[in-house]
A = this chain, B = another copy of it.
Amino acid sequence: MPVKCRFCERPAFIKLHYPKMYLCPEHFTEYFERKVKRTIERYKLLRPDERVLVVVSGGKDSAVTAHVLKKLGYSIECLHINLGIGEYSEKSESYARKQCEGIAPLHIVRVKELLGKGIGEVRTRRPTCSYCGLTKRYIFNKFAYDNGFDVIATGHNLDDEASFIFANLMNWNTQYLAKQGPLLPGEDRFVKKVKPLYELTEREVVAYALANGIEYHIEECPHAAGATTLEYKSILNDMEEKRPGTKINFVKGYLRKKKLFEAELEEYELGKCSVCGMPAQGERCSFCRFWGLETALDFKINRNNKTIET
Q: How far is the CB of A133 from chain B (nearest CB, A)?
A: 21
Question: How many Å lie between the Cα of A264 and that of B259 in the bound state?
Answer: 11
A246-B170 in contact given A260-B261, A260-B264, A261-B260 (Cβ < 8 Å): yes
Chain A residues 77 to 135 lying within 8 A of chain B, measured CB to CB, are none
Question: How many Å lie between the Cα of A263 and that of B263 in the bound state?
Answer: 10
Neighbouring B residues of A263 by C-beta, 8 Å: 260, 263
Neighbouring B residues of A250 by C-beta, 8 Å: 170, 172
Whether A20 sits at the interface, judged by CB under 8 Å, is no
Chain multiplicity (copies): 2
Neighbouring B residues of A246 by C-beta, 8 Å: 170
Question: How many Å lie between the Cα of A260 and that of B169 in the bound state?
Answer: 13
Question: How many Å lie between the Cα of A238 and that of B254 in the bound state?
Answer: 24
Label chain A's interface by main secondary structure: helix
Max count, chain B CB within 10 A of own CB: residue among A172, A231, A235: A172
A242-B231 in contact given A170-B250, A174-B257, A250-B170 (Cβ < 8 Å): yes
Chain A residues 215 to 254 lying within 8 A of chain B, measured CB to CB, are 231, 235, 238-239, 242, 246, 249-250, 253-254
Question: How many Å lie between the Cα of A246 and that of B169 in the bound state?
Answer: 12
Question: How many Å lie between the Cα of A242 and that of B239 in the bound state?
Answer: 19
Whether A303 sits at the interface, judged by CB under 8 Å, is no
Q: Which residue of B lies closest to A243 (CB)?
A: B228
Whether A302 sits at the interface, judged by CB under 8 Å, is no
Question: How many Å lie between the Cα of A250 and that of B232 in the bound state?
Answer: 15
Neighbouring B residues of A235 by C-beta, 8 Å: 235, 238-239
Neighbouring B residues of A256 by C-beta, 8 Å: 172
Chain A residues 242 to 285 lying within 8 A of chain B, measured CB to CB, are 242, 246, 249-250, 253-254, 256-257, 260-261, 263-264
A260-B170 in contact given A231-B242, A235-B235, A242-B231 (Cβ < 8 Å): no
Do A171 and B242 touch across chains, with their CB atoms under 8 A apart?
no
Question: How many Å lie between the Cα of A150 and that of B259 in the bound state?
Answer: 38
Do A174 and B260 touch across chains, with their CB atoms under 8 A apart?
yes
Question: How many Å lie between the Cα of A261 and that of B257 in the bound state?
Answer: 9
Question: How many Å lie between the Cα of A170 and that of B239 in the bound state?
Answer: 10
* A–B complex contacts, Cβ < 8 Å, 13 sampled: A169-B169, A170-B246, A171-B249, A171-B253, A174-B260, A231-B239, A231-B242, A235-B235, A257-B264, A260-B260, A260-B261, A260-B263, A263-B263
A binding-site residues for B, Cβ under 8 Å: 169-172, 174, 231, 235, 238-239, 242, 246, 249-250, 253-254, 256-257, 260-261, 263-264
